[in-house]
Amino acid sequence: MTIILFILISLQGIAQTRTPLTLNEAIALSLQNNYDIQLTRNDSLLAALDYAYANYALLPTLNANGGILLNNNNSRQVLADGSERKRDGIRSTNINASLNLNWTLFDGFRMFIARDRLKELVELGELQIKNQVIVTVADVMRTYYDIVRQEQQLKATEEQIALSAERLQLAQYRFDIGVGAKPDVLQAQIDLNAQRSQALTQQTAINKLKEQLNQLMALPVSNDYELADTTITFNPDLTLDSVSSIALTSNPELLIGRKNLEIAELDLRLRRAERFPAISFNSAYNFSRTNNSSVVNQFQPLFNQNHGWNYGFTASIPIFNGYNTRRLIRAAQLNIQSQQLLYDRNVALINTSIANAYRDYDLYKRTLELEEENIELVRENIFIARERYRLGISTYLEMREAQQSLADAMNRLIQARYNVKVAEIELLRLRGDLVK
């Protein structure tokens, strides 16, 4: 089945009370709090943040610089004719400022390829979130229905305890009136104690599974709750063709592999673009002013000011860099081949997993049909055996064997229902539409 997620207003209230917890509520809590999903979401947000500024990389850069320098010097000069000039406390002020604009006009289209690569990384992050969500939802569903299975098993054990208590009572009554044997009473008590011990073990298993579900929902381990679902239902109409055909276009693992292949192809284009020249437009406005309070040399200006702007073009042409560009291109080509091999391998693995999961699904469905038919026969048999034992026309062993047959049949029935559900969850996970 397809789980339709919705936002619940009082999720935390549900987690802290004994209100029955539904499967959708457990899934919503896990999607809201699960640590793995939050980490994957942060990675995706970083990629989206980079892409949001991708277009700005195509614009020119503009930088302003400015400075002021104050000098206080003592000067002494001896000229070639033997004359000497000396002056103390020479103060000067130098102010300079500039505004520089640089704009890359052509770089082998690397800017555009890099922008496309950032876009692919954003889509890759979204696919990774979807994959992590599906994995988390599948874990929550398996754990949730495992708790349901264990609780059904506990109810079956409690039913066995009631039957054993009744068998002990009948054995004691028959022994008291002299038509029964003491070993029958002892064996009935032994069986009853064993089933009570099994019930304690079963309750411990339920508590452990609840702790695992709390971990998936990122809630305190000690948080307790009851499940709203007491039965395990499944979709009996899944077919192998419907799962296989949709998986190729919806399975997030395959989509991630395909996206990695596209990113590898963009990396190759980036490397090839390094062979092209880069052309840039450069422009600057400069201003400088020097103001001297006094000078030693009479030909030195007391005040000097310059300002103006300049512009031009620069070209950087790659000629030879030790074949490093060729090496990087070859490495990018090998990476494409590796990504293609990984994708083909994942396709084969997922097709195999789908085939195996569907075989399990089909087997467990047929097994469940047999067990549902068999449980009616076993219950009728235990009823007859109990009445015959009460009337004294059957032996204690016949009654005990009929009860054991009921216990085994109930265990197989509960396990068969759970196995069908687990196989269905796996098929939907592989198909990629466990969550919509």
CA distance 280 to 258: 36
Could you tell me which residues are beta bridge partners of residue 70?
Answer: 93
Domains along the sequence of the chain with CATH: 11-33+107-276+318-431 (1.20.1600.10)
CA distance 84 to 165: 127
Query: Concatenated DSSP letters for 241-308?
Result: HHHHHHHHHH-HHHHHHHHHHHHHHHHHHHHHHTTS-EEEEEEEEEEEEEEES--SSTTS-SEEEEEE
pLDDT digits (tens, 9 = 90+) for 363-394: 999 999 999 999 989 988 888 888 887 787 77
pLDDT of residue 18: 57
Query: Is the distance from CB of 273 to CB of 82 less than 8 angstroms?
Result: no
**Among candidate residues 137, 127, 123, the one with its CA nearest the CA of residue 30:** 137
Angstrom CA distances, 10 to 17, 21, 212, stand at 11, 12, 22
Instruction: Supply the DSSP symbol for 22.
Output: P
Query: Is the distance from CB of 325 to CB of 274 less than 8 angstroms?
Result: yes
pLDDT digits (tens, 9 = 90+) for 121-149: 999 999 999 999 999 999 999 999 999 99
pTM: 0.80
pLDDT digits (tens, 9 = 90+) for 198-244: 999 999 999 999 999 999 998 888 888 899 888 898 888 899 998 99
Beta strands 61-78 and 303-316 are unpaired
pLDDT digits (tens, 9 = 90+) for 23-34: 999 998 888 888
Query: Is the distance from CB of 358 to CB of 365 less than 8 angstroms?
Result: no
* pLDDT at position 9 over 60: no
Confidence of residue 8 (pLDDT cuts 50, 70, 90): very low
| 254: exposed, middle or buried (Cβ count in 10 Å: 0-12, 13-18, 19+) | buried
Confidence of residue 296 (pLDDT cuts 50, 70, 90): low
Angstrom CA distances, 117 to 124, 153, 298, stand at 10, 53, 64
Q: Which two tokens mark 127?
A: 């696919």
